[in-house]
């Protein structure tokens, strides 16, 4: 949403009452339902649950930007810190027309859980600006980024809250954020954000980290379930940073990626797609919609194409009660945050589809962001081989812990992941107590 200088819009502070399908698609409602279910399963004491039902800080900012035509547009931005009990806040920044307060709150909560599941010394945060960067010039995006960074600088910092890339943000935007923060404090501070270019203090392996973590999780799943990953057809929804890198890494390891998609639709070839060729095409055309060397499938039916492994790497609420009964995959690996609604979870569980949840499956990104932050603080940088080995160790250990608990408790992987994360959070909350 863009509000021009001449307009005056005062949004209500109270969220409308939602019911039915609207509740299924509300990320914050979904997140809190997951928390309550896991808390009940663990018989968690009310003190811990009450702490986690609330975000520690919610900052809403007005972001005025001078546009190329000389007009002034005012965008709304958010930075939300859900919990800081285990360390400074960590979470991405997204630019998207559908960014909302409830979405950012939910994403911050899931980051808290994700960091606890893989045992990183972070709490969860998330940020976003309501905008469509694809309709803005590079200069407009830079001015938006720098003003937004200045507005949220009161709560971010290398010891307080460390942003990272997310939907429609990238290394360049992180470099502008780092530079803006550094100019405001008077010295270079590379540790204020992660996901930066190598030349600005970024880490080797960070760009591919989320997709690589998805692969490590899937490979470990194949090991414990006893199937050959190279013979299991894979479909990946979303061909942005996470999806494209996951597709490349699966293909590099001899796996058969039979389907990929972006917002323009999907591509399918039962014999396996040429991922490098598709990536080169997308780099040139910014979409795969007109790629001619594969069968085209519409956006809606794409998730229902037969495969062994389905990896949603796009946005939230892609798998709902409407399409969950039609999904033919045996395993779902959540590369995106919140792609499956709770109602869809129940349907998939009843059908025997095993799902590896986002707070475990896509934790590779925040793990290597942690590595980048540590390297920035130490001013000592590691080799990519070392980074990938450390990432594999952390992801495999976390997967085994969650899988073993799921088997022991005879529950699904999402519940087990929440139980692992909540257990760590609860211990910290008890030890630290409540101030004053």
Q: What angle do CA 226, 229, 230 make, to 5 degrees?
A: 135
Note if 328 is an active site residue.
Answer: no
**b/e map of 232-267 (b: 16 or more CB within 10 Å)?**
bbbbbbbbbbbbbbbbbbbbeeebbbbbbbbebbbb
Q: Give the distance, in angstroms, between the CA of residue 436 and the centroid of all CA atoms in the same chain.
A: 34
Q: What is the DSSP string of 135-157?
A: GS-HHHHHHHHHHHHHHHTTT-B
Q: How far apart are CA 83 and CA 88, in angstroms?
A: 9
Encoding tokens for residue 285?
A: 């055309």
CB neighbour list of residue 397: distance below 8 Å, 6 or more residues apart: none
Active-site residue, selected from the candidate residues 56, 105, 114, 126: 126
Q: For residues 425, 426, 432 and 436, what is the CA-based torsion angle, rounded to 10 degrees?
A: 110
How many residues can be counted in the chain? 436
Q: What angle do CA 114, 115, 121 make, to 5 degrees?
A: 175
Determine the longest span between alpha carbons in the chain, in angstroms: 64
Q: How far apart are CA 317 and CA 126, in angstroms?
A: 18
Given a contact cutoff of 8 angstroms between Cβ atoms, the answer to whether 104 and 125 are in contact is no
What DSSP character marks residue 340?
A: B
Using DSSP's 3-state secondary structure scheme, residue 76 falls into: strand
CB neighbour list of residue 395: distance below 8 Å, 6 or more residues apart: 118, 213, 216, 217, 220, 363, 364, 367
Q: What is the DSSP string of 268-291?
A: E-TT---HHHHHHHHHHHS-STT-
Query: Which of 85, 62, 182, 39 shows the shortest CA–CA distance to 432?
Result: 85
Q: Give all strands (DSSP E) within 160-207, no chain letters.
A: 161-165
Query: Which of 79, 78, 83, 77 shows the shortest CA–CA distance to 31?
Result: 83
* Residue numbers annotated as active site: 126
């Amino acid at each position: 949403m863009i509000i021009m200088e001449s307009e005056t819009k005062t949004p209500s502070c109270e969220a409308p009452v939602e019911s039915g399908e609207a509740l299924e698609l509300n990320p914050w409602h979904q997140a809190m339902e997951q928390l309550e279910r896991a808390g009940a399963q663990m018989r968690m004491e009310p003190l811990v649950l009450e702490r986690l039902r609330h975000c520690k800080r919610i900052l809403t900012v007005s972001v005025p930007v001078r546009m190329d035509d000389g007009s002034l547009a005012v965008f709304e931005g958010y930075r939300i810190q859900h919990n800081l009990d285990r360390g400074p806040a960590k979470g991405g920044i997204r630019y998207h027309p559908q960014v909302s307060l409830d979405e950012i709150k939910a994403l911050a909560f899931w980051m808290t859980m994700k960091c606890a599941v893989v045992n990183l010394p972070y709490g969860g945060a998330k940020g976003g600006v309501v905008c469509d960067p694809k309709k803005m010039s590079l200069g407009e995006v830079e001015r938006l980024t720098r003003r937004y960074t200045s507005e949220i600088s009161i709560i971010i910092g290398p010891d307080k809250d460390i942003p990272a890339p997310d939907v429609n943000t990238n290394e360049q935007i992180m470099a502008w954020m780092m530079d803006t923060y550094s100019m405001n404090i008077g010295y270079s501070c590379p540790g204020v954000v992660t996901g930066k270019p190598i030349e600005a203090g970024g880490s080797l392996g960070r760009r591919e980290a989320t997709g690589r973590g998805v692969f490590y999780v899937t490979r470990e799943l194949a090991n414990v379930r006893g199937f050959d990953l190279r013979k299991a057809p894979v479909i990946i929804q979303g061909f942005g940073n996470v999806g494209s890198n996951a597709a490349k890494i699966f293909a590099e390891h001899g796996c058969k990626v039979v389907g990929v998609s972006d917002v323009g639709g999907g591509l399918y070839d039962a014999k396996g797609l040429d991922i490098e060729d598709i990536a080169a095409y997308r780099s040139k055309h910014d979409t795969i919609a007109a790629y001619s060397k594969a069968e085209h499938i519409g956006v809606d039916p794409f998730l229902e194409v037969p495969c062994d492994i389905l990896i949603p790497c796009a946005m939230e609420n892609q798998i709902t009660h409407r399409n969950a009964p039609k999904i033919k995959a045996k395993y779902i690996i959540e590369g995106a945050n919140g792609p499956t609604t709770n109602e869809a979870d129940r349907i998939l569980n009843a059908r025997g589809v095993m799902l590896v949840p986002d707070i475990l499956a896509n934790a590779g990104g925040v793990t290597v962001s942690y590595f980048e932050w540590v390297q920035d603080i130490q001013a000592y940088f590691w080799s990519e081989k070392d980074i990938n080995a450390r990432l594999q160790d952390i992801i495999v250990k976390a997967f085994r812990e969650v899988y073993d608990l799921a088997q022991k408790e005879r529950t699904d992987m999402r519940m087990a992941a929440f139980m692992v994360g909540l257990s760590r959070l609860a211990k910290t909350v008890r030890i630290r107590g409540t101030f004053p």
